[in-house]
Amino acid sequence: MSETSFLQLAGKHVLLGLSGGIACYKTAELIRLLTKAGASVQVMMTEAAEQFITAVTLQALSGRPVLSSQWDAREPNNMAHINLSREADLMLIAPASADFIAKLAQGRADELLSLTALARPMGTCPLAVAPAMNREMWAHPATQRNVAQLIADGTQILGPGAGEQACGEVGDGRMLEAAELFEDICAMLAPKHLAGKKLLITAGPTFEPIDPVRGITNHSSGKMGFAIARAAREAGAEVTLVAGPVHLATPRGVRRIDVQNAQQMFDAVLPLAPQNEVFIATAAVADWRPASHAQQKIKKDGSGAAPMIAMCENPDILASVAALNPPPFCVGFAAESEKLLEHARAKRLRKNVPLLVGNIGPATFGQDHNALLLVDARGEREIPHNDKASLARQLVQDIAQRLHQTDPKA
């Protein structure tokens, strides 16, 4: 199997401006994430930012000289603010201080960063800002007025987050973490194959309790379902993720509903399904559960006899959603240990879904890589071995094409 590892931000150019704030250290990490994903990054910083982090660090991380003065003679035509913004796919100010946000709101341009933000072509170079300031500064009506003005001007506000601040106070105003900003930037730069669509996704294992301390579960990590949720959000969809017990961070911009067992997953999914255009069932739902749930821990009685645990079948969530009238576009998953194609074909017919995605369970559970076999009424197609994030993006694109074929107006 061949692996085409494509970098998510290959060919993208980001203009990254820092204004003054402790959060400058997070921006150093963000530059690493962006360049690792294939983006080129041009860093600009204000005089205040230079008090918090050196240009040396940022130059080393971005691989390009950092610009901080509009009088920098290195630009042949001495118009860095024009040249740089013409080639960028996105301009991000992170951290954006309260003062810098005020400047942007007023359209002032008395140093290189604000000058570039004002001079950028708004149609090709969207602006995003990641506020970073003390909670009182963030809550101040002047800042809120300025932020509202930026939104009205078409600027994306990323965050801020809440929590403990450098000053020791706790509240809103922290800059988002580098990984969170990275996710938001990926979403801003991704093609919007699923704009305006609503997707419902199940992910992870279920846990079927035997008694208060034991239960039946499986090795599903939820990684594939979470990657699909993230890719779908990047593609512009409104995503609801119903997750079994997993240790994964919620993808940015995704609504998450946590459940434990199959019945709870069924109860969460069924009322939501009719409001969604697509349902993707990646969860490894337990087929059976203990028929009764002991209220107290089952104890050994010393006889050597193991308890008999009677089992009953769980509701089939995917088949139930597929039986709705009309159903959303349903995508099932099949984690098999052998005869993948045969089982995937049979499962697609049994569940009555247009698309069934087969994969080898023991090879994928908990792993970061996988390979997918897409089985539909016409035949099958493989998405070759790759990291789950890449597979998820390819699957999302495939589903978007199918939706478009079903309804070319969509």
Which of 318, 322, 355, 391 contacts ligand C5P by CB under 6 A?
318
Q: For residue 170, give every residue at least 6 positions away whose Cβ sits within 8 Å of its Cβ, in sequence order, or none.
A: 135, 162, 163, 164
Min separation Cβ 225 and ligand C5P, Å? 9
Residue 317 binds ligand C5P (CB under 6 A)? yes
**Binding map of ligand C5P across residues 201-220, x = CB under 6 A, - = no contact:** -x------------------
Residue 334 binds ligand C5P (CB under 6 A)? yes
* Structure token digits, residue 353: 């879904």
Which of 27, 35, 46, 314 contacts ligand C5P by CB under 6 A?
314
Stretch that binds ligand C5P, among 25-33, 142-150, 271-279, 311-319 (CB under 6 A): 311-319
Element (H, E) at 128: strand 127-131
φ and ψ at residue 93, rounded to 5 degrees: -105, 115
Element (H, E) at 61: helix 55-62
Contact 228, 282 (CB under 8 A): yes
Residue 316 binds ligand C5P (CB under 6 A)? yes
Q: For residue 255, give every residue at least 6 positions away whose Cβ sits within 8 Å of its Cβ, in sequence order, or none.
A: 238, 239, 240, 241
Helix (H, G, I), strand (E, B) or coil at 42: strand
Nearer Cβ to ligand C5P, position 149 or 264?
Answer: 264
Nearer Cβ to ligand C5P, position 259 or 281?
Answer: 281
Residue 281 binds ligand C5P (CB under 6 A)? yes
What is the DSSP track for 287-347? SEEESS--SSPPPP-SSSPPPP--EEEPP-HHHHHHTSSSPPEEEEEEEESS-HHHHHHHH
Does 167 qualify as catalytic in the annotation?
yes
Min separation Cβ 318 and ligand C5P, Å? 3
Min separation Cβ 262 and ligand C5P, Å? 5
Catalytic residue among 24, 167, 186, 330: 167
Stretch that binds ligand C5P, among 6-14, 215-223, 310-318, 380-388 (CB under 6 A): 310-318
Site for ligand C5P in 339-358 (CB under 6 A): 347
Side-chain-side CA neighbours of residue 187 (13 Å): 25
Which position has the token pair 């005089």? 47
Stretch that binds ligand C5P, among 47-55, 95-103, 329-337, 392-400 (CB under 6 A): 329-337
Contact 21, 97 (CB under 8 A): yes
Nearer Cβ to ligand C5P, position 51 or 337?
Answer: 337
Nearer Cβ to ligand C5P, position 50 or 316?
Answer: 316
Contact 62, 41 (CB under 8 A): yes
Determine how many CB atoms are found less than 10 A away from the CB of residue 212. Answer: 12
Q: For residue 53, give every residue at least 6 positions away whose Cβ sits within 8 Å of its Cβ, in sequence order, or none.
A: 18, 24, 25, 27, 28, 45
Nearer Cβ to ligand C5P, position 34 or 262?
Answer: 262
| Size of residue set near ligand C5P by CB under 6 A | 14
Nearer Cβ to ligand C5P, position 273 or 400?
Answer: 273
Residue 287 binds ligand C5P (CB under 6 A)? yes
Nearer Cβ to ligand C5P, position 27 or 314?
Answer: 314
Determine how many CB atoms are found less than 10 A away from the CB of residue 400. Answer: 22
Helix (H, G, I), strand (E, B) or coil at 224: helix
Residue 333 binds ligand C5P (CB under 6 A)? yes
Q: For residue 7, give every residue at least 6 positions away whose Cβ sits within 8 Å of its Cβ, in sequence order, or none.
A: 37, 38
Stretch that binds ligand C5P, among 154-162, 234-242, 278-286, 375-383 (CB under 6 A): 278-286
Name the DSSP class of 205: B
Residue 200 binds ligand C5P (CB under 6 A)? no
Stretch that binds ligand C5P, among 3-11, 18-26, 331-339, 376-384 (CB under 6 A): 331-339
Which of 20, 173, 332, 358 contacts ligand C5P by CB under 6 A?
332
Contact 292, 344 (CB under 8 A): no
Min separation Cβ 217 and ligand C5P, Å? 14
Helix (H, G, I), strand (E, B) or coil at 213: coil
Nearer Cβ to ligand C5P, position 25 or 288?
Answer: 288
Distance CA 267, CA 124 (A): 44
Which of 228, 262, 383, 389 contacts ligand C5P by CB under 6 A?
262
Interacting residues toward ligand C5P by CB under 6 A: 202, 262, 281, 283, 285, 287, 314, 316-318, 332-334, 347
| Residues involved in catalysis | 167
